[in-house]
Chain A
Amino acid sequence: MTAADRSSAVVDIARLEELADIMLPAAHGMPSASEAGAVSLYIDEVLGWRSDLRQPLAEALAALDPTTFTVEALSAFLSEDEAAYAALTTVVAACYYLSPVVRDRIGYPGQVAKTYDPFAYTEWVADGLLDPVVERGPIWREAPG
Chain B
Amino acid sequence: MTFRADVLIIGAGASGGVAARHLAEHGFDVVCLEQGDWPDRSSFPGTRPDWELAIRRDWAMSPNVRNRPEDYPVVHDNSDIEPLMYNAVGGSMIIYAGTWPRMLPSDLRVRTLDGVADDWPIAYRDLVPYYDAIDRQIGVSGLAGDPAYPPHDDYPLPPLPLGVAGGRVAEGHNRLGWHWWPEPNAILSAPYDGRRPCVQRGVCTSGCAEGAKASTDLTHWPKATAAGARLITGARVSRITIGPQGLATGAVWLDSASVEHHQEADVVILAANAVGTARLLLLSADERYCPDGLANSSGLVGRRLMMHPFSVVTGWWDDQVEGWQGHFGASITSYEFYETDPSREFVRGAKWALSPVGGPLNHILPMRAGNEVWGPDHHALMGRTFGRGASWAIFGEDLPEESNRVDLDPDRTDSHGIPAPRVGYRISDHSRRLMAYQEDRATESLEASGCQETAVASMIPYSGWHLMGTARMGDDPASSVVNSRQQAHDVANLYIADASVFVTSSGVNPTCTITALALRTADLLVQRRREQKVPA
* Residues of chain A having any CB pair with chain B under 8 Å: 2, 22-25, 27-30, 45-46, 49-50, 52, 71, 74, 89-90, 93-94, 97-98, 106-108, 110-116, 118-121, 124-125, 129-130, 132-134, 136-145
Query: Given A28-B383, A141-B104, A142-B105, is A136 in contact with B179 using a C-beta cutoff of 8 Å?
Result: yes
C-alpha spacing A55/B365, complex, angstroms: 20
Nearest CB on A from B513, distance (A): 15
For B326, give the chain A residue with the smallest CB separation.
A114
Asked if A145 contacts B109 (CB within 8 A), the reply is yes
C-alpha spacing A113/B54, complex, angstroms: 19
* Residues of chain B having any CB pair with chain A under 8 Å: 46-47, 49-54, 56-57, 67, 104-106, 108-109, 112-113, 119, 123-125, 141, 143, 145, 147-150, 157-162, 167, 170-171, 173-174, 177, 179-182, 189-190, 197, 199-203, 320, 324-325, 335-336, 339-340, 359-361, 364-365, 372, 374-376, 378-380, 382-383, 386-387
Asked if B359 contacts A111 (CB within 8 A), the reply is yes
Asked if A134 contacts B145 (CB within 8 A), the reply is yes
The 3 closest A-B pairs by CB, nearest first: A27-B376, A113-B199, A143-B105
Taking CB atoms, residues of chain A closer than 8 Å to B113 are 141, 143
Taking CB atoms, residues of chain A closer than 8 Å to B167 are 124, 129
For A94, give the chain B residue with the smallest CB separation.
B53
Interface of B is mostly: loop
Between-chain CB contacts (< 8 Å), 13 pairs: A28-B380, A30-B379, A49-B54, A93-B361, A97-B359, A106-B387, A108-B386, A112-B201, A114-B201, A115-B199, A120-B161, A129-B171, A136-B179
Name which of A106, A133, A137, A142 has the most chain B CB atoms within 10 A of its CB. A133
Choose from B51, B52, B105 the contact partner of A141 (Cβ within 8 Å): B105
Further pairs besides A25-B375, A118-B157: 16, Cβ < 8 Å: A22-B375, A30-B379, A30-B383, A50-B57, A90-B53, A90-B361, A110-B359, A111-B202, A118-B160, A118-B197, A129-B167, A138-B148, A140-B339, A143-B105, A143-B113, A145-B123
For A25, give the chain B residue with the smallest CB separation.
B376
For B380, give the chain A residue with the smallest CB separation.
A28
Asked if B200 contacts A114 (CB within 8 A), the reply is yes
C-alpha spacing A22/B377, complex, angstroms: 11
Taking CB atoms, residues of chain A closer than 8 Å to B104 are 140-141
Query: Given A90-B56, A93-B361, is A27 in contact with B379 using a C-beta cutoff of 8 Å?
Result: yes
Choose from B119, B174, B359 the contact partner of A133 (Cβ within 8 Å): B174
For B107, give the chain A residue with the smallest CB separation.
A143
Query: Given A50-B53, A111-B46, is A29 in contact with B325 using a C-beta cutoff of 8 Å?
Result: no
For B182, give the chain A residue with the smallest CB separation.
A121
Taking CB atoms, residues of chain A closer than 8 Å to B160 are 118
Kindly count the residue-residue contacts between A and B in the assembled complex, taking CB atoms under 8 Å apart.
171
Name which of B47, B104, B190, B374 has the most chain A CB atoms within 10 A of its CB. B374
Asked if B177 contacts A136 (CB within 8 A), the reply is yes
Choose from A23, A113, A124 the contact partner of B374 (Cβ within 8 Å): A23
Query: Given A28-B383, A140-B339, is A93 in contact with B364 using a C-beta cutoff of 8 Å?
Result: yes
Taking CB atoms, residues of chain A closer than 8 Å to B57 are 50, 52
Taking CB atoms, residues of chain A closer than 8 Å to B106 are 140-141, 143
C-alpha spacing A35/B340, complex, angstroms: 56
C-alpha spacing A143/B151, complex, angstroms: 15
Taking CB atoms, residues of chain A closer than 8 Å to B382 are 30, 106
Query: Given A89-B372, A93-B364, is A46 in contact with B53 using a C-beta cutoff of 8 Å?
Result: yes
Nearest CB on B from A87, distance (A): 11
Asked if B123 contacts A108 (CB within 8 A), the reply is no
Query: Given A93-B360, A107-B320, A141-B339, is A29 in contact with B379 using a C-beta cutoff of 8 Å?
Result: yes
Asked if B143 contacts A121 (CB within 8 A), the reply is yes
C-alpha spacing A108/B105, complex, angstroms: 43
Taking CB atoms, residues of chain A closer than 8 Å to B376 are 25, 27-28
Nearest CB on B from A105, distance (A): 9
Name which of A107, A108, A140 has the most chain B CB atoms within 10 A of its CB. A140
Taking CB atoms, residues of chain A closer than 8 Å to B340 are 141
Nearest CB on B from A119, distance (A): 6
C-alpha spacing A7/B54, complex, angstroms: 19
For A114, give the chain B residue with the smallest CB separation.
B200
Asked if A140 contacts B361 (CB within 8 A), the reply is no
Query: Given A93-B364, A93-B365, A141-B105, is A118 in contact with B158 using a C-beta cutoff of 8 Å?
Result: yes
